[in-house]
A and B are shown apart, each in its own frame.
Chain A
Amino acid sequence: MTDVVASRIGLPKLSSLARFTFVDVILWALRLAVVIVVVGGTIGTLLKGRYAAAQWFDLVMFGLTIGSVYALIALGYTMVYGVLRLINFAHGDITMTGAFAGYFLASSFDRSGLLDRSPILAMAGILALAIVTSTTIAVLTERIAYRPFRHVRGFAPLICAIGVSFFLEQTFRGLFGPSIRSYPDPKWQRAAIDVLGFSVPRVDIIVIALAVVAMLVLYVIIQRTKMGTAMRAVSEDTDAAAMMGVDVNKVVVFTFALGGAMAGIAGVFYAFVFKQVYFFMGFTPGIKAFGAAVLGGIGSVPGAMIGGFFLGLVESVGPALFLDGIGIPAPYQLRDLIAFTLLIMVLIFRPHGILGERMAKKRA
């Protein structure tokens, strides 16, 4: 019984304590060090009182905003991995294609004044075009580049995915030039909204709210529709699903389409918050979203959502909360270090990610 409890919380079984190795000691020392930094830093920062409540609230909102974008991108990684066991490294670039498509429409809406006159209609149009573009490219990518590798073992599919990533980046560079372009900045997006007595830029609220809606819709599609059920079946066991009459090809295309749609939405949101669009823009958020997908438990849809928000929050709040208190100067240059150290820590405690284990159990 004790062993069961121990294994559940990530501790080694008592019976195996005798076999503690040097590496185990180092790992536990690492865990302890991180816990001390996190707890000690947090207490130190809060005692210092450097940040006012409004600033903490801002940091949380910034984290949720970027986190919602990570979550949307992470969904594409996790769904494709779930169905095909393929890490689609080109997914960040598919986000970029959506952002680019949205850019052209957004600029023309801005020039014609539609973006200011009817924001909802304009946003719907921009999102629709981005979704269509990203979905089309995601589906074409699957059909042309990934399907021939479907049953190939080893690294070939992964290398192919990296190739697709380069292909998309360089194609967009060739078509639209190497420079950055800027999304329009309509006043209604910048206007602040009062939330719980704190003021938040409207664009942050819109992005977080719409991202949550998109994720809920996706969750319902996966849990409640026939195609979603087929997707889950294929991700459990492709051969068994095929034998039960599931058209695996159709399911895979559907998965890429869903992932592409989420990437299109993420691309537009990302560009509306951070404005700059260029051919290489998908790379960094893509890598981070992949981290978020792994953190949440790759293959798990709710895991990707949680992972995305977690990563965004840690990036935004972490440096100020953990490092300011222990007197580390310029903590924000360690932003990625903190985020990915915590990612590693979570994976040390839960090797399958935050929600990964539950899925593994279900499969068993």
Chain B
Amino acid sequence: MFRYRSLRPWTYGALAVAALAAAPIADAKETKGPVTDDIGVIVIPKGAPIQIGGYWVLSGADTALGTDQKRAVEIAIKDIGGKLVGHPIKFNAEDSLCNAEGGQTAATKLAANPNTVIVIGPSCSSEATPGAPILWKAGITSIGTSPTAPALTAPDRKPEYNGFVRTAYSDIDQGANDAKYVYEVLKAKKIVTVHDGSPYAQQLATVMAANFKKLGGTVLSAEAVAPTDVDMHPLLTRVATEKPDVLYFPIFVAAAGQIIRQAADIPGLKGVRLLGSSALMAPDLIEAARDAVVGFRFTYPDVSPEAQGKGYPKFVEEYKKMFGEGPIAGYHANAYDGAQLAFKAIEKVAKTDKSGNTYIGKKALRDAVFATKFDGISGPIACDKYGECAQFKPAVYEYTNADPKTFKIGVNPKKIWP
């Protein structure tokens, strides 16, 4: 006879782990209306809105990064007439603060809404790292629009990331490109890297350093700051004692702004080239670093109109019309394509019955996202089996003016390479 007392504590633990590992696939097979799905079916009654979730950084120093992407999704919604498979679109955007806590909270909120069909976002890898598994546990597919940490789409990613794809490239490519630029173009032989503990910065700095060493360069030290650090003087004083050719800091706006400003105060850093990366395309960086920003370079994907897809110029016009200014960061095209990917996949799998109710299978939607291919405004979109859907085109930009009002991608900062 089965006696519950015969179960040891570790048995409970093992059962709990097994249950968690199996989620969301575990016995959630469901049939509603004409649709049967392995992990559940979302029903949208006739006339009810179809709910699309989104989470990006919408406050703090990196506001521009997330707001730009949220706006792109709003344009995509407008472009399809605000309706999808016969239902008006309800767009629920959350602020995920570009940190793990924010990502976790936003994802939990979106996952708690049983009507969330799909989620677009986030902007930061630190948000996606805890956020994507929470969403997938609820059977919700998410489409990252600028989290670029390699681990998110690596071949060895954990099963809880199976519901995550991204319409942005991987920093495996960004890191290799950055190392090449520093070694071959800047002719630097010794560098110091700085990360801020976020998955994005940490992984990009590591990939870049590994590639730089492979090319024959020396990494003098791998430093770290906290994203909220303001006093960089002591760190920079230490860096100056190492006499690097380049200080590479792929971090976010607030801390990067402090490094750019304060490096000018350290006599030993005169002549050391500062180089940031893809989180620093924002008017807020000019505001944060002011005069010191002029001449500052950062590596970035090539976002010049000629490097983008066909529909890009029309998109920019629409952007200006809707928001009264040009794009305020660099990943709007990826976000627009993320929204397109979501809409196309939903159109593929949604089934409507005679009374006008719509049914969407969650697993079917995930598979449709992975299978959908199209020419986006950021370039061709086609996901591999680990969820990597975009290609990387390298570039380097340089700020030319210290007035935040002059921010215009291609002008301030202007593309200087290739």
CA distance A291 to B233 in the complex (A): 22
Q: Tell me if B109 is interfacial: C-beta within 8 Å of chain A.
A: no
> Which residues in A have their C-beta under 8 angstroms from that of B58?
178
Taking the nearest CB of chain B, how far is it from the CB of A194, in angstroms?
13
Q: Is the CB of B61 within 8 A of A316?
A: no
Q: Give 8 nearest A-B pairs by CB, closest first.
A: A178-B59, A333-B224, A274-B230, A62-B233, A332-B235, A330-B223, A316-B234, A180-B61
Interface presence of A116 (CB below 8 A): no
Q: Is B31 on the interface with A (CB-CB < 8 A)?
A: no
- Comparing A81-89, A276-284, A352-360, the segment that makes contact with chain B is A276-284
Question: Can you name 13 A-B pairs with beta carbons within 8 Å?
Answer: A51-B238, A55-B240, A178-B58, A274-B231, A276-B254, A315-B234, A316-B234, A319-B234, A324-B238, A329-B221, A330-B223, A330-B224, A333-B223
Interface size class of A (residues with CB under 8 A): 35 or more
Q: Is the pair B287, A179 in contact by a Cβ cutoff of 8 Å?
A: yes
Cross-chain contact B233 with A180 (CB below 8 angstroms): no
Q: How many A-B residue pairs have CB under 8 A?
A: 105
- B286 → A minimal CB distance (Å): 9
Q: Are B61 and A276 in contact (CB under 8 A)?
A: yes
Q: Is the CB of A315 within 8 A of B288?
A: no
Residues of B close to A317: CB separation below 8 A: 234
Question: Across the interface, do A276 and B231 meet the contact criterion of CB distance under 8 Å?
Answer: no
Does B222 belong to the interface (CB within 8 Å)? yes
Tell me if A336 counts as interface (CB < 8 A to partner B): yes
Q: DSSP class of B's interface residues: helix, strand, loop or mixed? A: helix
CA distance A62 to B230 in the complex (A): 12
* B288 in contact with A276 (CB, 8 Å): yes
Number of chain B interface residues as a range? 35 or more
CB distance from A47 to the nearest CB of B (A): 15
Q: Check: A247 CB closer than 8 A to any chain B CB.
A: no
- The verdict on B228 contacting chain A, using a C-beta distance below 8 Å, is yes
Instruction: Please indicate which of the listed interface residues A54, A55, A201, A332 has the most CB atoms of chain B within 10 Å of its own CB.
Output: A332
Query: What CA separation (Å) do A274 and B229 show in the bound complex?
Result: 10
Q: A332-B224, A332-B225 are in contact. Are A180 and B238 (CB under 8 A)?
A: no
Give the contacts of A305-362 with B (CB-CB under 8 A). 315-317, 319-320, 324, 329-333, 335-336
Contacts of B261 in A (CB 8 A): 185, 275
Contacts of A185 in B (CB 8 A): 261, 290-291
Render A48-80 as a binary contact track against B, CB cut-off 8 A, 1 for contact: 001100110011001100100000000000000
Interchain CB contact under 8 A, B241 and A275: no
Contact A276 B258 (CB under 8 A): yes
A336 touches B238 (CB 8 A): no
Closest to B265 in A: A201
Residue contact A284 to B258, C-beta cutoff 8 Å: no
**B152 interface residue per 8 A CB criterion:** no
